[in-house]
Amino acid sequence: MNRWEEKPLLKLEHLTMRFGGLVAVNDLSFSAGEGDITALIGPNGAGKTTVFNCITGFYKPTEGRIALRHGEAKVWDELDAATARPDRRMVRAGAGLYLLERMPDFEVSAHAKVARTFQNIRLFSGMTVLENLLVAQHNALMTASGFTVLGLLGLPAYRKAEKASIEKAKYWLDRIDLMDRADDPAGDLPYGAQRRLEIARAMCTEPVLLCLDEPAAGLNPRESADLNALLLGIREKDGTSILLIEHDMSVVMEISDHVVVLDYGTKISDGKPDFVRNDPKVIAAYLGVSDEEVEAVEAEVLS
Amino acid sequence: MANETQTGGRSVDIGHAAKDALLAGLIALGLFGVFIGLQTVQDISNRLVLKVRPEALAVIVGIIVVGRFLLNVFVWGREPSHKAAVASPSGGLLGMFKRLCFLVGVVVTLVAVVDIGFRLAGGALPNMPISPPGTMGLGSIILIEAVAALFGVVLIAFGQNMTERAAALLGPAGIGFLAAFPIIAILGAGWGGSLKWIDNFGIQILIYVMLGWGLNIVVGLAGLLDLGYVAFYAVGAYSYALLAKEFGLSFWILLPLAGILSAFWGIILGFPVLRLRGDYLAIVTLAFGEIIRMVLVNWVDFSGGYAGISGIPRPTLFGIPFNATDEGFAARFGLEFSPIYRTIFLYYLILCLALLTAFVTVRMRRMPVGRAWEALREDEIACRSLGINTTNTKLTAFALGAMFGGFAGSFFSARQGFISPESFTFIESAQILAIVVLGGMGSLYGVVIAAVVLVGGFEIMRELDFLKQIFGNDFDPALYRGLIFGASMVVIMLWKPRGLISTRTPTAFLKERKTVSGDLVKEGHG
Amino acid sequence: MEVFLQQLINGITLGSIYGLIAIGYTMVFGIIGMVNFAHGDVFMVSAFIAMITFLLIGALVGSVPVVIAIVLMLVVAMVLTSLWNWTIERVAYRPLRGSFRLAPLISAIGVSIFLSNFVQVTQGPRNKPVPGMLNDVIILVESPTYNVAISYKQIMIMVVTAILLAAFWYLVQKTSLGRAQRACEQDRKMASLLGIDVDRTISITFVMGAALAAVAGVMYMVYYGVVSFSDGFNPGVKAFTAAVLGGIGSLPGAVVGGLLIGLIEVFWSAYFTIDYKDVAAFSILAITLIFMPQGLLGKPEVEKV
């Protein structure tokens, strides 16, 4: 049994998103497993980024449920009960369920611990690399500063928290190899470094699920390989599961454990990389083969 | 060879320049012909009649034609393309102007400082070019020179692309100067004369510095465009005036109360509108500012309408009033009564309030919420993806800015003793906003420089009586204040769209604090 | 009922003037995304140009038929106001295009302050009364208590506004100029790559906005018979409110919004209290923006993530 079926972290059920008359995502269901790197792929305009925006709360889906689990997997049994209640989340000792489609965007990150990056990098380019990483620790620091009041008075508890936040930033600077550039404005970094910084910034929110929108776009092969190492490291060392949108098949096939393929807002394939790679529907979607031909190919493969 | 082509190019330029200058003259004639060439005046029977002013029109058009021609030949002519020079006012002209500013600034500052030194040391340089002939007292001269030195520093800042850090070196010196200003003024202009300097320049500029610093939190740091900031100034002023008159509460109780009330209004007004994007937010805040003013105008029972509120109690030094009675400040301390004590007291009061604003701003920038403000200014969506509650973050900025506006307002009403809606018009908001934007968004020093230039410049216009000798007696320099104010806003924006100090200082660093160029600072939503 | 009819007529007249100004706001916002804060003062300048032209005609020619005087005023005001707005765009806004977001706005506020002070300095701070024109009225409904009347100048304002709007509509919808404008609205860079002179198109937009504001200025001067240097701010903000209410960027929206604001103001004054009529207009602006930021006829905006 696959891990995403056995120990799912995120479950999308019957997700539909319409913009006016346009159906961007149509009745999409899939799961992402805990500790997996799940790739969401598909041709341009397939609705991948829309799915991301629904998961991270930037769009409110027209229909469907998006649920995320913290802690023990047993808690999934209570999903329907949690949905029946009007609450956005159900938390008890050692476990929690979050109904992401009910949460506004910032709560998805703050409470459900889902972090994301953007297709067109969104760094705070006039702030330094270090500051970018500190902004990401906003909520933790807010609590430590007693919602600014204690911090203004300069109490030691806040100083300690601030020191810890800088240590954490240093840890990530080391991981993404940008220690030397910590005090430079983020906008001055080369493109590849900006991509890495955006990932590190997302990781500073201590997510359980990291959503990456085309992290390898615009990277050269060497940077791409570094990225693979970084992502695998995040999964191993930090125990964060990853959901990514990617066009670069070398990245997808090399690092992902699970691939979901979208075309015109509908799921056309779902499985291990090897399975998806050989799925005639996927090949057809990418190469632009008509439906009859797909059926023909399918018949051939099956026979 | 190269010389020849250049000459060839220049000779072509002159024909072109002449044509261009004539065209500019024609446009000027079209623009100004109606307004300057003709004047509408009412005759005895109160009917409008036209008066013709051909000389004035000719002078203005002449200046434009000649000026344009000279600029074409000597300044823009050197640019590869004339059009490019118009499209981007950078490069040669700007560089030259900056160098000039820097030079003039250095000379003015040096001469002024050296001369002050000499004069204080007893003698005076025999033939100082800037010392006016004998009628003026030693003190006034020193005072004028001190102001000149300040302007010199401003010019240096202009010329030098001054960074926030370079300006920071001036910080302690500036605070020292501000703390010593009343003493300098008294030494300079004597008991009687110094009143004007401390009041019109010192207090007036500091009120605007404080308002600028308050609005800077909203506009400069959080990037929320607020065109109705004066509303909170008004809330503070009316809170103090009404509560002090009705309940006889003391200034020291009402000052924080006025701030809290303003912050409360900030939250009430801010809550529904803060999710709007930039320009819309600007217009809604403008609308709120106008609504509050109109309510003050029309709700006569509450606010006295146009007539305003007079006889507002003056602040006391912890219970000691500044008046001529036996209980008064002067009598208690065995001094002869003089209105100057109150003015000096007010000066230090507003100085402390302004410094409090600056202190809180500096501390807040290093707090998580302050960093979130700046992050919000750059990219709201990224902030939300990091779990920052943007509405609350904006509200804190809005409320904090409003609170300092309220403090300034209650100070204003305590200082004036009289307030009316006239003091809280849109133009006031525009002026405060101009100080923030011209100073450089987010820069505390920039705000000070802009306030000195705009408000100080405004006040200086009153003093320029010698212009009457040039333009005749019915020339009133004060009339031209608005004209020059508006034009200089445009000019400074064209010159430095990001304000005088456009760099930002990081709030945290590992090895060294490097300033960030303003060009990198994005502006997202907000 | 009679009062209602009379106020309807007054409201439409006022609304026509607001609508004409609002178009200038909406077009400029549509094409360069900037709130042209000085537009209200450009309107005020045009009213002064009209007033001076009127006096000039009187001084040079003596008495001429009112219709000819108004046509002359319209022509002169439209030409000179366009020249003003063209120059303003050229000097104060164009160099700031693509610069820091707040810079053009601050520059526009500067222009606004400059214009009102310029007129104050050159023409004096007092209100300028103009002899009334077209004051005759047609009585529409006669009743013992209240006569509903429409004056010739109200008819003129409505007719001129309607004709100009039709002509303008044709210009924007059917000509290549209008196409260029809409292209620049969508994507300025792409439009310039396709050979559209973007600078020229934007200039023309400012000229068109000014011409319509000039029409409004002439109408305002004729309607109220008095102008003052400070007359730019209030109608300017009201017209901007109208543009927002109608949906900023939408031309029909500007007209509809203008009419609505005119009607609301007039009815509020008639049925409630004249003191708070501006408060009513501003409250509507705030409420519209909060609950319906796209306005009545504007396109909803999807946040790009």
Hey, are the CB atoms on A184 and B508 less than 8 Å from each other?
no
pLDDT digits (tens, 9 = 90+) for C27-37: 888 888 888 88
Q: How far is CA A73 from CA A3, A207, A208, A211, B363, in A?
A: 12, 17, 14, 21, 44
Contacts of A118 in chain C (CB under 8 A): 305
CA of C162, closest CA in chain B: separation in Å? 28
Residue of chain B whose Cα is closest to the Cα of A179: B510
Antiparallel, parallel or unpaired: β A63-71 and A266-271: unpaired
Distance from CA of A295 to the nearest CA of B (A): 42
- Which other chains touch chain C, taking contact as 3+ CB pairs less than 8 Å apart? A, B
Residue C134 placed within a domain: yes
Place of tokens 């605070």: B175
**Cross-chain Cβ contact C303/A19 below 8 Å:** no
Residue numbers of chain B with a pLDDT score lower than 50: 1-12, 79-92, 123-135, 525-526
What pLDDT shows up at residue B231? 93
CA atoms of B342 and B290, how far apart (whole Å): 33
Contact at CB, C103 and B287, closer than 8 angstroms: no
- Please name the residues in contact with A293: beta carbons below 8 A apart, sequence gap of 6 or more: A284
| Contact between chains at B386 and A201 (C-beta distance less than 8 A) | yes
The segment(s) of chain A belonging to CATH 3.40.50.300 are: 3-113+208-302
B483 touches chain C (CB under 8 A): yes
Q: How far is CA C23 from the centre of its chain?
A: 6
Residue C237 lies in a domain: no
The pair of three-digit structure tokens given for residue A177, joined into one six-digit string: 């190899």
Give the model's confidence band at A151: pLDDT under 50 very low, under 70 low, under 90 confident, else very high.
Answer: low
| A109 at C interface, C-beta within 8 A | no
Stretch (H or E) spanning C155: helix C152-174
Q: Which of B160, B140, B155 is nearest to B110 (CA)?
A: B155
**Domain assignment present for C6:** no
State whether B385 and A184 contact (CB < 8 Å).
Answer: no
Q: What values do phi and psi take at C95, rounded to 5? A: -60, -20
Range of the domain at C153: 15-231
Tell me if C257 is assigned to some domain. Answer: no
Tokens of C39: 């537009």
**Chain A residues whose beta carbon lies within 8 Å of the beta carbon of residue B396:** 148
Residue numbers of A between 209 and 248 with CB closer than 8 Å to B: none
Tell me if residue B13 falls in helix, strand or coil: helix
- In whole angstroms, what separates CA A121 from the centre of its chain? 14
Which pLDDT value is given to residue B130? 41
Q: Give CA–CA dist B452/A38, Å, rounded.
A: 59
pLDDT digits (tens, 9 = 90+) for A45-99: 888 889 989 999 889 889 898 988 888 888 888 888 888 888 888 888 888 888 8
Q: Is residue C78 part of a domain?
A: yes
Amino acid in the structure at residue B473: N
Specify whether the CB–CB gap between A76 and A54 falls below 8 A: no
Please say whether the beta carbons of B504 and B515 come within 8 A. yes
Confidence (pLDDT) at B473? 62
State the helix-helix crossing angle for C2-32 and C233-246, rounded to 10 degrees. Answer: 80
Residues of B engaging A, defined by a Cβ cutoff of 8 Å: 360, 363-364, 367-369, 371-372, 374-375, 378-379, 381-390, 396, 504, 506-514, 516-518, 520-522
Q: For residue C99, give how far its alpha carbon lies from the nearest alpha carbon of chain B (Å).
A: 7
How far from C116 is each of C40, C210, C221, C261, CA to CA, in Å? Answer: 10, 16, 16, 24
Q: Distance (Å, rounded) from C-alpha B197 to C-alpha B451?
A: 16
CATH number corresponding to B161-520:
1.10.3470
- The tens place of each residue's pLDDT in chain C, 305 residues long, gives 778 888 899 999 999 999 999 998 888 888 888 888 899 999 999 999 999 998 888 888 877 888 888 899 999 999 999 999 999 999 999 998 877 777 888 899 899 999 999 998 888 888 888 877 777 778 777 777 777 888 888 898 899 888 888 888 888 888 888 888 888 888 888 888 888 888 888 999 999 999 999 999 999 998 888 888 888 888 998 898 888 888 888 888 899 999 999 998 888 888 887 778 888 888 887 888 778 877 777 776 666 66
Residue C205's nearest CA partner among C73, C37, C86 is: C86
Is residue C216 situated within a structural domain? yes
Contact C55 B50 (CB under 8 A): yes
Nearest residue, CB atoms, C117 vs list B41, B279, B483: B483
Q: Which residue of B has its CA nearest to A204?
A: B386
- CA angle (A8 as vertex; A3, A12 as ends), nearest 5: 125
Is there a domain that residue C92 lies in? yes
- The residue among B386, B504, B509 with the most chain A CBs within 10 A of its CB, best to mutate, is B386
Nearest-neighbour CA in chain A from B256: distance (Å)? 17
DSSP type of residue B502: -
Enumerate neighbours of A (3 or more CB pairs within 8 A): B, C
Q: Does B298 touch chain C (CB under 8 A)?
A: yes
Beta bridge partners of B52: B38
Assign domain A3-113+208-302 one CATH number from 3.40.50.2000, 3.40.50.300, 3.30.360.10, 3.40.50.1100. 3.40.50.300
Count up the domains in chain C and report the number: 1
How far from the centroid of its chain's Cα atoms is residue A122's Cα? 15
Residue B486 forms contact with C (CB below 8 Å): yes
Element (H, E) at B186: helix B164-196
Q: How many CA atoms lie within 13 A of B480 on its CB side?
A: 15
Helical H segments across C62-127, by residue range: 66-88, 102-123
HSE, CB side, 13 Å, CA atoms: give it for residue C199.
13
Residue C305 to residue A19, Cβ atoms within 8 A:
no
* Model pLDDT, residue A144: 74
Using DSSP's 3-state secondary structure scheme, residue B163 falls into coil
Whether residue B511 and residue A109 make contact (CB cut-off 8 A), yes or no, is: no
Report the first-to-last Cα separation within chain B, whole angstroms: 57
Please give the pLDDT value at position A75. Answer: 81
Closest B-chain CA to A106:
B387
Task: In chain A, count H helices and then E strands.
Answer: 14, 11
Number of Cα atoms under 13 Å in the Cβ half of residue B20: 18
A288 contact partners, CB below 8 Å, separation of at least 6:
none
CA distance A207 to A113: 4
Among B109, B112, B137, smallest CA distance to B125 is for: B112
In degrees, to the nearest 5, what angle opens at C-alpha B74 toward C-alphas B72 and B78? 85
Q: What is the pLDDT of residues A287-301, one digit of tens each?
A: 766 666 666 666 766
Alpha-carbon dihedral A225, A231, A237, A242, rounded to 10 degrees: -160
- Which residue, among A111, A135, A167, would best test binding to B if mutated, counting the most B CBs under 10 Å from its CB? A135
Q: Which residues contact C191 (CB under 8 A, 6 or more apart)?
A: C180, C183, C184, C198, C201
What is the pLDDT, as a whole number, of residue B1?
Answer: 37
Buried b (16+ CB within 10 A) or exposed e, B43-58: eeeeebebeebeeebe
Contacts of B504 in chain A (CB under 8 A): 126
Does residue C303 belong to the interface with chain A, where contact is any CB pair within 8 Å? yes
Q: Which two tokens stand for residue A110?
A: 């703050």
In the predicted model, what is the mean pLDDT of residues A9-35? 88
Q: Parse chain B into domains and list their residue ranges.
A: 2-88, 161-520
Q: What mean pLDDT do residues A92-108 have?
A: 86
Quick check: A49 contacting C, CB < 8 Å?
Answer: yes
pLDDT reported for residue A172: 92
Distance CA B106, CA B165 (A): 19
pLDDT value at residue C171 = 85
Determine whether C61 is exposed, middle or buried from the number of CB atoms within 10 Å of its CB (0-12, 13-18, 19+): exposed
**Residue type at position A165:** S
Rg of chain C, C-alpha, whole Å: 19
Could you tell me how many CB contacts below 8 A there are between chain A and chain B?
139
How far apart are alpha carbons B12 and B2 in whole angstroms? 16
DSSP state of C230: G
Q: Check CB contact under 8 Å for C305 and A118.
A: yes
For residue C196, the Cα-to-chain-centroid distance in whole angstroms is 27
